[in-house]
Amino acid sequence: REGKDPNDIIKHFHASLSANAKKIYYYKVDGSLRNGVEIVTHPFTLPYLYAHEEEVFAPIWNYLPKHGLKGDADNCGLHIHFSVLDEDNETPGKPSPMVQYKILKFVLGNRGNCEDIAKRPGNNYCAYEDPRTRIAGRLLPRDRNRERLYCSRYCAINTNNSHTLEFRIFQSGLGKTTIFRAIEFVHSVYYFCLHSKVSELTWAHYTHWLRFHTKTYLILCKRMKIEPIKSKAAATIHKEEVKRE
């Protein structure tokens, strides 16, 4: 905000946090920001987000806007780094190469829908095209099972980090709905792709899958107007509709 030093606001913000919240946040300087600060969190799970909303996360939307900070400038993005635990539930890392491929295929292949959820059009910082082939919606088949899927740092999903996939598609913001919707979307895309065949990576299949998980992704489903499956018969009928689409 003009006339205020964001660093001073962040210092007071951090001082106001509980001991648990202070363990979650740290702060960086980003070259793309003018008169701003990048707020970063250490890793946490979706259940942790819900269980500690008021203590740990609510200060973002309760404190910062009241003290003059905004998060919705055109040059601000909300980046979410995603990782999964290994088979021993000890070491976090990226999903398997095949699951990475399916996530990329789903996001790149459903650009318009993803942009609508993310509230941010693709640009030079979150491109929806493979930078080598310029073909939207897919990677070269020879990359499917490689240990490393090559995508530019500035792709919609950055695969270059050692231990995480970075979803770069979201418009930033300090509101609860903006933050929760983005996190729920990333989480849901992973599990949808994990349990889906490549041929099923369509938006119709995804929205059908969400109907079985509306309690897990409350804010996302409310935004998308996804209604839960109400009966087994209804589930069967809708599944046939998805197949026809």
Exposed, middle or buried by CB within 10 Å (0-12, 13-18, 19+), for 123? middle
The helices-and-strands tally (H runs, E runs) of the chain is: 10, 7
The Cα–Cα gap between 95 and 189 comes to 12
The reported pLDDT for the residue numbered 22 is 96
> Residue 151: what pLDDT?
59
pTM of the model: 0.84
Exposure on the CB side of residue 159, measured as CA atoms within 13 A: 24
Task: Write the burial class of residue 138 (CB in 10 Å: 0-12 exposed, 13-18 middle, 19+ buried).
Answer: middle
pLDDT given for residue 155 in this prediction: 84
CA distance 100 to 167: 12
Digitized pLDDT (tens) for each residue of the chain, 245 residues in all:
445 788 899 999 999 999 999 999 999 877 666 778 889 999 999 999 999 999 999 999 999 999 988 887 777 899 999 999 877 777 889 999 889 889 988 998 999 999 999 999 988 888 887 544 443 344 444 444 443 445 567 889 988 888 999 999 999 999 999 999 999 999 999 999 999 999 999 999 999 999 999 999 999 999 999 999 876 554 444 444 444 44
The two most distant CA atoms of the chain are separated, in Å, by: 60
Q: How far apart are CA 200 and CA 34, in angstroms?
A: 42
pLDDT for 184 equals 98
The contacts of residue 166 (CB under 8 Å, 6+ apart) are 79, 80, 81, 82, 157, 158, 159
Residue whose token pair is 């210092």: 11
20: helix, coil or strand?
Answer: helix
* Cβ proximity of 232 and 139 under 8 Å: no
